[in-house]
């Protein structure tokens, strides 16, 4: 039996389906673009995203996707060597 694990980021899903922005938090109507913008403006933890966008405060189902976007951002920064990855905390 062979098991193949595939990792697809939210950004890749949006590209595949030709979607400009995907809703991540349905409770608050927050898109992945809004989350990425908050990260680019300095949000580096779940606490920061909760404070700025009020995500993951009601049902919490968007928390995993928010953490994924934080991780994508930190990995992209680490690959380019331009960001300090120690600043990203999924709290």
Model pLDDT for residues 58-80, shown as the tens digit of each residue: 999 999 999 999 998 887 776 67
Indicate the pLDDT class of residue 87, thresholds 50, 70 and 90: low
Amino acid 81: pLDDT? 65
Per-residue pLDDT of 36-66, as tens digits, reads 999 999 999 999 999 999 999 999 999 999 9
- Does residue 21 have a pLDDT over 80? yes
- Does residue 90 have a pLDDT over 90? no
Residue 42 is given by DSSP the state: T
Cα 17 to the center of its chain, rounded Å = 18
> 44 in helix, strand or coil?
coil
Does the pTM surpass 0.75? The reply is no
Domains and CATH numbers, the chain: 10-87 (1.10.10.1100)
């Amino acid at each position: 039996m062979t098991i193949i694990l595939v990792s697809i980021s939210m950004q890749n899903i949006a590209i595949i389906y030709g979607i400009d922005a995907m809703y991540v938090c349905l409770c608050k109507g927050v898109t992945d673009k809004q989350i990425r913008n908050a990260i680019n403006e300095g949000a580096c933890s779940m606490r920061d995203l909760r404070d700025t966008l009020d995500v993951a405060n009601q049902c919490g189902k968007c928390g995993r996707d928010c953490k994924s976007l934080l991780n994508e951002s930190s990995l992209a920064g680490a690959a380019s060597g331009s960001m300090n990855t120690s600043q990203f905390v999924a709290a």
